Structure 1
C-alpha cells in the first residue's frame, strides 16, 4: 500500500486531537490512534523508534533528548511529547514513507508557527527576500547540523505550496536606470567587475563540487557564501550590479536547497528553493526561476506527490516559455514526463518524453548558463529511462515499460561512466539500471550493478544515493534473497556503507 493511500486509513482524521492532554502530561489521555497507525505500518519496534529519535536529536544538537521504549509506549498511549520530539517524528515518518507526514497527522500538537517567517507564503519583495535568506542561512550555519532551524520548520505541500509559487508570475514594476550609491564615505564602494566575476565563478565551482562529491561535502561552504552575498545585497549598488548579485544569490540558494535535498534535509531544502525563486524574480531571470521550480518539482516526486510536481513544472514552463533555452525546455519536458509517469498518465508521459528529445536536438550548450550544464545527453537519457521505469512500477511491475526503460537507462549509464564530474548521477543511474533488471527478474545483474553503485557511493557524500542503494538492495533481498549474488549484498552494505545499513 502506498503512503498516500495509507494516510486515508488513519483513524480519527487529521483534525482529531487527544483531548484534555496537557503538553508532556498524562491527564485525560486517550490512545493516539493516528501515531499508532503510522508506527505499526513502519515496521519499527518501540526500541528502534526510540534509538532513531535519540540519534536524530543528537544530530540536531538537542542533547537533552533521551528517549526509551517506555517513553514511546506512553506516546502511543496518548502522551503529548514536547518539542523537538513532534518535529523529529514527522521527519522520521516522512522519510520512512517517502511522503510528507505533518505533525498533525501523527495526532501531535505542532509548535506555534508565525506564518510570515516559517512558511512558504512569503512577501515577494527584494529587501524582505534578502533579509530572510540572510537570517535563514545564518541559522543554518549556527544550528542546522541536521537542518533543524527551530521547531517551526516544516514541509509545505498541495495548495499551501503551489498557490504562493504562482505569484512568481505576477509582473514587478519596471526597474529604473542605474543609480550610484549615496556620496557617503561610510558607504562601501561599489563592487568591481573582477569582484562580481569572482563571485560568479565561485558559484560555478561549488556546483562542480556538488556534482562530483555530493551534497554532504560542501553544503555549509555554499550556505556561508550565500550568507556573505546577502550581506553585500544590504548595501547600496547600481541596479545592474544588484541584479547580478540577486542572480548569484538565487543560484547559491538553489544549490544550498539541492544539496540539502541530497543529504535528506527536506524542510531545509524546500525553504532554500522557495527563497531562491524569490531571488530569481528579483534578478528578473525567468529561466533561472524555472530551474528552481524544477528542483522543487523533483523533490515533490521524491516525496510521492506527483500532482504537486506537475503543477510546479507547468508554472516553470509557462513562466519561461519565451526565454528558456532549448536545453532548459528539454529538462522541463523530461521532468513533466516524470510527473506524468508517477501519476500513471501513460500517453502524456510518452508525449513529454518525445518533447524532451525533440527540444534537446536544438540544444546549444555553449550558449547555456552554467546551472543547466548538468543536463547533457546522459541526463536526458537518465530522466526518460526513469520515467519508463516509474511507469513500470505504477503499472504493477509491467515488463513492457521495463523493456522500454532498459536500453535508454543503459545508454545513460554508459555515458556517465565516461564522465569524471557527474559521479553522483553515475551512482544513481547504476541503481536505476539495477531496478530495471529487478523488474525484468534478472537478480544477478541487479546485484552486480548495486555493487558498482556502492563502490561509487563510497566517494560521494549523498544520503539520496545511499538511501536508493539500500532500498534497491532490500527489494532484491526480499524477492531474490536465495540468489547468491543478492545474498551477499547485505555484507557489502554493512562493510562499505554502514551508516546506511543502520538507518531505517
Structure 2
C-alpha cells in the first residue's frame, strides 16, 4: 500500500497579507516577476502560481525573498519570508537591509567586510539596483537615533560589570551634528600629516598597506576588549589617510587594505566594551570608514557592493546619532545614481537628505546638498529645476562665513567644487558655453591634491569644447585627461575618457582626432 503524500496546509499568513495589500493573485505574480527582472531573473509566475502558494506550496530559490520584498514596498514595513508563511531563504537583498538595531547593523556590515576582505570576486559583480534605495532612505528619514548603543561585549560582560564603567548618555540623540567630529559630540582626530608619493604607476604598490595601518591578520585586537577615545581617534586618523590616497591615486590603490582594516580593527571594536558616549563616536567613525569603503568600491565600478556599503554607512550614522552625516551618505548615494544614469532616484535621494537635516544645516552643507540635486536634474535634462538648484547652492555658499561650524566631510566643498558641479550640470544640459566657463574656473581653483576630480573636470571641459566645435582644443584636453587616467587606479576615470571618445566618433576622420588617437596609443 503506497503512502499518501503529506497534505499541504493553506497559507493563511500569505492570504491575510494579500488582502491587506489589496493585491489580486495576478497582480502579486506580476510584481514578483518585475522585481525578479531587476535582479536579472527571468521569472514566469502567474495567478495559478499564487494559488499554489496559498494552498501551501513553497516557492523555490530566492522567490520567497522576492515576495517578501514586494510586500515590504507595498505595506511600508519590513517583512521576511517567514512573516508570509514561507520557508526562509538567502535574502536577495543581502546587504541592503536597514537594520532594526545597532547589533543587527554590526552583524550585516561585518559580514560585508569579511566577504569583501576574503577576495570574493562575485561580491564585486553584484548589480546596482535602484529599487534598493527606497526602503533605506525612507527608514533613515522617519527613524531616530537608537536610544542605546553602549555595549558590554558579547565575550566580556563580566569585565564590564567588574569595572563598573558605563558611559554617560549622549544629549539629544538624533539631532544633526555639525561639529568637526562624528555623531554624539565626538570630535575627529586632528589633521593627519600624510606623506603621499609623487604620482605614477610605480609609486604606490598595488594593494599596499599604508604606513600606520596594521597588516591584515596580524592585529592583536579581539572582540570583547574595552574601547576608548584613543581607539576612536585612530579610526578617524586611518580614515583621513585612506581618503587622501583615494583622492590622489584612485579607489583601486588601497581599497582592499581599507576593507581588511575594517574587518580586523573596526569590527572587533564594535563588538567590544564601551559606554554610550564612546559608542556614539565609535559608530560615527565606523560609518565614515564604511562610506569610504563604498566610495572606493564605486570608483572601481563595483556598484552593487558600493551600494550596500552606503546603505550600511547610513544605518551606522543613525546609531551614531549623526543626522548630518547621514545626509552626506545619501548624497554620496545620489552621486552614484547620477553616474549610473538614474537621475530620478538621484534627485529623490538629495531631497531626502535636505529634508533630513532641515534648514538648520550650515550654509556649506546646504550648498552641497542643493548642488547634488542639480546634478540629478541635469542628467534628466530638466534645465529649469537644475538651474534653480544651482542658484540655491550658490546663494548658500555665498552666505557662509569664516568661523561657521562645518563638519569635516563638507570642508572641501568650496567655490572650486561648486564650479565643478556647475560645469557637469551644464555639460549634461548641453549648455556648452556655460560648461566651459565653470569647468575652467574649477580647474583654476581646485588643488592638485584632488587629482581624480581635476581629471573629471578636464574631461567635462574637453566635451564642452567639442560641443562648441573647438575640436583641436577638445582633443588636447582629452589627451591630457587620458594620460592622467593611466596614473590613477579608477574605473570612473577610464569611463570619463571613454565617454569623451564616444563623443569624438562623428569626427573620427579629422586630423585632430587621428592625432589624439596616436597620442593615446603612445601611452600604452
- Match for 1:137 among 90, 113, 117? 113
RMSD over aligned CA atoms reads 2.9
- Preserved CA contact (<8 Å) 1:120 1:156: no
Kindly state the Cα deviation for residue 289 of structure 1 after the two structures are TM-superposed.
0.6
- Preserved CA contact (<8 Å) 1:327 1:365: no
Kindly state the Cα deviation for residue 346 of structure 1 after the two structures are TM-superposed.
1.6
Find the counterpart in structure 2 of residue 383 from structure 1.
421
Find the counterpart in structure 2 of residue 314 from structure 1.
351
Q: Is it true that 1:163 corresponds to 2:135 in the alignment?
A: yes
Greater RCO (CA < 8 Å, at least 6 residues apart)? 2
Find the counterpart in structure 1 of residue 244 from structure 2.
208
- Preserved CA contact (<8 Å) 1:286 1:324: no
- After TM superposition, list the pairs within 5 Å mapping 1:70-219 onto structure 2: 114-115=90-91, 118=94, 120-145=96-121, 148-149=122-123, 153-158=126-131, 160-172=132-144, 175=147, 182-184=160-162, 190-219=226-255
CA distance in 2, matches of 1:271, 1:248: 18
Q: Is it true that 1:231 corresponds to 2:205 in the alignment?
A: no
CA distance in 2, matches of 1:174, 1:124: 9
- Match for 1:292 among 329, 345, 349? 329
Q: Is it true that 1:425 corresponds to 2:453 in the alignment?
A: yes
Q: How many matched pairs?
A: 381
Kindly state the Cα deviation for residue 176 of structure 1 after the two structures are TM-superposed.
5.8
TM-score, structure 1 normalization: 0.70
Kindly state the Cα deviation for residue 345 of structure 1 after the two structures are TM-superposed.
1.8
* Greater Rg by CA: 2
CA distance in 1, matches of 2:247, 2:497: 18
CA separation of 1:188 and 1:142: change in aligned 2, threshold 3 A: closer
Give CA deviations for 1:244-286 in whole Å, capped at 9, x if unaligned.
Answer: 1111111111111111111111111101001110101111111
Find the counterpart in structure 1 of residue 480 from structure 2.
452
TM-score, structure 2 normalization: 0.67
- Preserved CA contact (<8 Å) 2:145 2:320: no
Give CA deviations for 1:141-192 in whole Å, capped at 9, x if unaligned.
Answer: 11234xx2288x432214x422332100233366369788723589855333
Moved more, 162-171 or 268-277: 162-171
CA distance in 1, matches of 2:135, 2:161: 42
- Preserved CA contact (<8 Å) 1:444 1:483: no
- Preserved CA contact (<8 Å) 1:124 1:278: no
CA distance in 2, matches of 1:292, 1:455: 31
Q: Is it true that 1:272 corresponds to 2:309 in the alignment?
A: yes
CA distance in 2, matches of 1:195, 1:119: 26
CA distance in 1, matches of 2:295, 2:124: 20
CA separation of 1:266 and 1:14: change in aligned 2, threshold 3 A: closer
CA distance in 2, matches of 1:130, 1:218: 23
Give CA deviations for 1:196-222 in whole Å, capped at 9, x if unaligned.
Answer: 222211111111111111101011122
Kindly state the Cα deviation for residue 113 of structure 1 after the two structures are TM-superposed.
7.1
Kindly state the Cα deviation for residue 350 of structure 1 after the two structures are TM-superposed.
1.1
Kindly state the Cα deviation for residue 441 of structure 1 after the two structures are TM-superposed.
1.1
Find the counterpart in structure 1 of residue 382 from structure 2.
345
Give CA deviations for 1:460-500 in whole Å, capped at 9, x if unaligned.
Answer: 21110111112212321x1222322211222333342x5xx
Moved more, 126-135 or 221-230: 221-230
CA distance in 1, matches of 2:319, 2:390: 32
Structure 1 segments unaligned to the other structure (5+ residues): 1-12, 20-111, 393-400, 499-504
Q: Is it true that 1:402 corresponds to 2:374 in the alignment?
A: no
CA distance in 2, matches of 1:116, 1:173: 27
CA distance in 2, matches of 1:177, 1:352: 37
- Preserved CA contact (<8 Å) 1:131 1:230: no
- After TM superposition, list the pairs within 5 Å mapping 1:13-52 onto structure 2: 17=42
CA distance in 2, matches of 1:113, 1:492: 53
Structure 2 SS opposite 1:183? helix
Give CA deviations for 1:378-434 in whole Å, capped at 9, x if unaligned.
Answer: 111000111111111xxxxxxxx1112221111012223xx1310001111110100
CA separation of 1:276 and 1:299: change in aligned 2, threshold 3 A: same
Find the counterpart in structure 2 of residue 480 from structure 1.
507
CA separation of 1:135 and 1:323: change in aligned 2, threshold 3 A: farther
CA distance in 2, matches of 1:208, 1:255: 11
CA separation of 1:14 and 1:128: change in aligned 2, threshold 3 A: closer
Structure 2 SS opposite 1:232? helix
CA separation of 1:196 and 1:472: change in aligned 2, threshold 3 A: same
Find the counterpart in structure 2 of residue 469 from structure 1.
497
- Match for 1:305 among 338, 342, 367? 342
CA distance in 2, matches of 1:374, 1:488: 37
